[in-house]
Structure 1
Amino acid sequence: MFWVLLLLLAWAVAGTACTRLCLAAAHAAARETKEATAGRGHDLTLYEAAFLSGGPRRVADLTLVSMALQRRLLLAHTGWATVVDPRGRDEMERSVIGAIGPEGQSRIEPVRDAAAAADAVGSLGDRLVSAGLAVPDGARGGVAAAIREVRRAAAAVVALGVIALLAPVRSDMPAHLVALWFALPFVLTLSCLAIARIEISPYSRWASPAGQRLLSALVRHAEGGDDRTFLTSVAVRGVRAIGEPKLRAAFAHREPHHAVFHRRD
C-alpha cells in the first residue's frame, strides 16, 4: 500500500536524524566531562575574558579602549585612531599599533578587523581551547546541525503523513489509524528535541561551560569605579559598556560609502 511506503520513509528520515542527534549529544557529553575540572585555579585576564565573551573582535576593542584610557592612543569621535605612544606593552597592543600602520593614524573599523585577525589573538584563542575554557571551532556545530536536522525530519514526517491522507490511492485502513501511525515517528522527533533541550548544556558562541563560570566569577568580583572595573565591563559587555559619549561614538561612527577620506597632517 502506498501509505505504508510513505510511513517507512518517515521512519527512515526520523530515525536517521534522531540517531545523529544522539551521537552528537554523546560526543558533547564526553567533552563536558573533560571540561569539568577546567579552569580551576585559573584567574582570567581581561584579554581572556574579552575573548570568551565576544571572540577576537572583542579583544581588539578592549585593547583599543585600554590604550585610549592610558592616553597612548587617541580615538576620535569621527572614527579615527591616532598613535601617541608607538611602543606596545604586549602582543595585543603591538598588533593594534601594527594595524594602524606606519603613518600612525587610521580609521578605527579596519584596525578592529586587522587586530582581531592577528596571530596574537589566534594564539590566545588556542590557549583557551587547550585549557577547556573556549569552544573549539565547530565543536557545537555538530549538535546544532543535528538539532536542525531533527526539526526538518519532524516537518518531513508531517508532510508525508498529509500526503498519505490526501493521496488518491484508496486504502482499507481508516484515515485516523493512518494518522496515528505517522504520529509515532513525529513523537520520536519531538521527544529527541525535548531531551536535547534539557540534557545538553548550553554553550555560548565562544565560552565553554567552564569558561562561562569563570566569566561569572570575574563579573561578581569586579568592584569599584577604577579603570580595571571599567575595562572588565568592556571585556564582558563590549563597547556598549562605554559610558563616555565621545569614546563610544568613535566605535559607532560610520561614514557614507561614497565619501572620500583624507588624513589630516
Structure 2
Amino acid sequence: MFWVLLLLLAWAVAGTACTRLCLAAVRAATAERQDATAGREHDLTLYEAAFLSGGPARVADLTMVSMARQRRLLLAHTGWATVVDPRGRDDMERSVIGAIGPEGQSRIEPVRSAAAGADAVRSLADDLVRAGLAVPDGARTTVAAGVRQVRAAALAVLALGAAALLTPAPTQMPRDLVALWFALPLTLTLSCLAMARVEVHPYSPWASPAGQRLLGGLARRTDGTGGTGDDRSYLTSVAVRGVRAIGEPELRAAFAHRDQPWRE
C-alpha cells in the first residue's frame, strides 16, 4: 500500500526534526544553567551592549553615530560618510576610518559592512564569549534552526497526508483512518512547536542568557530617553535599540538612506 510508505516518510521527517529541536533545547538549557552566574559583576561597555543587542553591524552603527555626535565623522542624509578627524580613539573607530579609505569619503553601507567584519569586532565577540555573555558562533542559530525544521516537517506531513488521501490506488483502509494515521506525526510536530514556544522562546542570536539579563537592565535604564538626555544615555539607547533610537532627523536619514543604490 503506497500510503504506508508515505506515512513512514512522514514519521521519519517529523521524528528527525523534533529530535534535533529537542537536542538543541537541551544544549541551550545546559548552557543557561552554566551561565547562571556569569556576568554578575560585569559592567557592559557601549560596544559590548551593541554587540549583544544586534551583533557586529550594531557595533559599527554605534561607532559611526558616536563619531558623528563628536563632529569627527560627517554622516550626510544622502548616505555618505566623510572623515573629519582621521585619528581614531580606539580600535573600533580606527576600523571605521580604515573602512572609509584614504580618500576620506565613502558610502555608509560598505563602511558598515567592512567595520562589522574587522578584527576589533571579532576580538570583542571572543571576549564576550569567554565571559559567558555572548553565544558562540556555532550555537547562535541552533534552536531557531530547529524550530524552522519542525515547521517545515509539519508542512511536509500535511503534504504527504494529502498525497496519500488523493492517491487513486485501491486500498482496504478507509480514508478517515488514513487521515488519522497521518494526524499522529502532525500532532508530534505541532506539540514540539508549542513546547518550544513556551520553553525555549525567545533566544537571542548574540547574547547568552546572562548577557540578556545585563541588556535587560540597560534597556530599563534607557526607557523613555527617545534619543534625548546626556550623551552616554543617548549612545546606550542606540546600542540597545539600534539606529531607530537616533533622535536627530539628519543623522537618522543618513542611516535610512544607506541601503539605497547611489545614482550619479
What's the TM-score once normalised by structure 2's chain length? 0.87
Aligned partner of residue 139 in structure 2, secondary structure = coil
Partner of 1:54: 54
Contact 1:92-1:120 at 8 Å conserved across structures: yes
Counterpart amino acid of residue 165 in structure 1: L
**1:201 Cα deviation from its structure 2 partner:** 4.1
Counterpart CA distance in 1 for 2:27 and 2:75 is 45
Residue identity opposite 1:129 in structure 2: V
Q: 2:246 is matched by which residue type in structure 1?
A: I
Q: In 1, Cα distance between the equivalents of 2:22 and 2:182?
A: 22
CA distance in 2, matches of 1:6, 1:101: 59
Q: Supply the AA of the counterpart residue of 2:50.
A: A
Q: Secondary structure of 1:43's match?
A: coil
Match of 1:214 in 2: 214
Deviates more, 1:117-126 or 1:163-172: 163-172
Aligned counterparts of 1:109 and 1:14: Cα–Cα separation in 2: 41
Matches within 5 A, 1:175-190: 175-190=175-190
Partner of 1:236: 240
Matched, 1:251 2:255: yes
8 Å Cα contact 1:201/1:209 also seen in 2: no
Shift, 1:228, TM fit: 0.7
The aligned residue for residue 41 of structure 1 is 41
From the CA coordinates, give the structure whose radius of gyration is larger.
Answer: 1
Cα distance, 1:248–1:186 mapped onto 2, change above 3 Å? closer
The letter of the residue matching 2:63 is T
Contact 2:165–2:175, Cα closer than 8 Å, also in 1:
yes
Q: Distance in 1 between matches of 2:198 and 2:249?
A: 42
Unaligned runs of 5+ in 2: none
Any residues of structure 2 matched to 1:28-107 within 5 Å, and which? 28-107=28-107
Task: Judge which range, 90-99 or 6-15, deviates more.
Answer: 6-15
Change (3 A) 1:77 1:12: closer
- Cα distance in 1 for residues equivalent to 2:147 and 2:76: 45
For 2:186 and 2:131, locate their aligned partners in 1 and report how far apart those are by CA, in whole Å.
40
- Quote the offset at 1:256 in angstroms: 5.1
Query: Counterpart in 2 of 1:263?
Result: none
Distance apart, 1:45 and its partner CA = 0.5
CA distance in structure 2 between the partners assigned to 1:47 and 1:63 by the alignment = 8
Take 1:143 and 1:107, find their aligned partners in 2: how far apart are those partners? 36
| Structure 1 unmatched ranges of 5 or more | 260-265
